Amino acid sequence: MEFRYLGRSGLKISEICYGNWLTHGSQVENEAALACVRAALDVGITTFDTADVYANTKAESVLGEALTGERRESLEIMTKVYWPTGPGGHNDVGLSRKHILESINGSLRRLKTDYVDVYQAHRFDVETPLEETMQAFADVVRQGKALYIGVSEWTAEQIRAGHALAADLGVQLISNQPQYSALWRVIEGEVVPTCRELGLSQVVWSPVAQGVLTGKYLPGQPVPEGSRATDEKGGKNMISRFMDDAILERVQKLKPIASDLGLTMAQLALAWVLANDNVACAIVGASRPEQVTANAAASGVKLSADVLAAIDQALGDLVVTDPGFTAKNAPKTRPA
């Protein structure tokens, strides 16, 4: 496992990060989830990403249980706040001071730790003044409950404004967590250049496009039983944007590229996102330990310029690059 600095900070994280968005507490039984975390630790993954909203707080609890007994100083734990949790009351959502300060306490309790390494704003809250949000995050850092702060799916303009306030408050905003894959490149036009300038790294989710870039979904064929594309709790709606025969046909053209390199399709997809020097890590999930082991092997793989060009040619003009999608997909009001 190789490691990269997170933003313009001294914190290093593993290139492959284990995340439990769609698995722990919902899609995968606890015993299997614990086995996946153990596999992650065994292959040298030290960075773990979760959020209070995943399985309505259950994912944090499962991860906390799985990491019990590990040396805390050897791990980097990241969690997030914004989406509705608990009973979903009127203050159980957003980035108000009340919700942030109450949520960090709940996350720490469930994760069985005194602090998280990075506390992230899971989306931008259009209904709370940014000054209030950033002051609350700064207080979380000063209280020792988080070491650094990050954001997720913020626009370049929002990141710039948040970074300026964080700097004024004396805390480090060091990361953004966006969706990014060879098929979904909307951060490249605006978000990545802004983050390079300001000293933030990308902690990317869905680097294999919800499994599409593994090549297991074939054009004109029924989706495999038990796959994410069939699971209402496992991201079926999100994966639907890629479940188009034209896209699936293009993805199949990546198979010989991966084969020539001795890589699986998933490893090729992970190596592709890690080829971007603004990406600090790629978040992977798993329902089986062997998936973790295979994905971790993408760390350290270097793709040549010729290989990157071949991937671009294979996927063609079906790649999504419009930077406007970050704002388009953002919540326009707090979710109920």
Question: Which residues does the annotation mark as catalytic?
Answer: 54
Give the position of tokens 């303009």.
157
Alpha helices in the chain (DSSP H): 30-42, 58-66, 97-111, 130-142, 156-169, 191-198, 236-239, 245-252, 255-261, 265-274, 289-296, 305-315, 324-328
Q: Cα 27 to chain center, whole Å?
A: 18
DSSP tag of 18? E
Return the bridge partners of 116, or none. 146
Question: Considering only CA atoms, which of 140, 69, 130, 139 is closest in space to residue 107?
Answer: 140
d(CA 212, CA 313): 18
Burial class (CB in 10 A: 0-12, 13-18, 19+), 277: exposed
Question: Considering only CA atoms, which of 124, 193, 116, 180 is closest in space to residue 149?
Answer: 116
The distance between the two most distant Cα atoms of the chain, rounded to a whole number of Å, is 55
Half-sphere exposure of 255 (CA within 13 A, CB side): 11
Fill in the amino acid letter for 196: R
Fill in the amino acid letter for 8: R
Question: Considering only CA atoms, which of 162, 145, 75 is closest in space to residue 106?
Answer: 145
Question: Considering only CA atoms, which of 84, 133, 19, 108 is closest in space to residue 333?
Answer: 84
d(CA 4, CA 129): 33
314 contact partners, CB below 8 Å, separation of at least 6:
250, 253, 254, 257
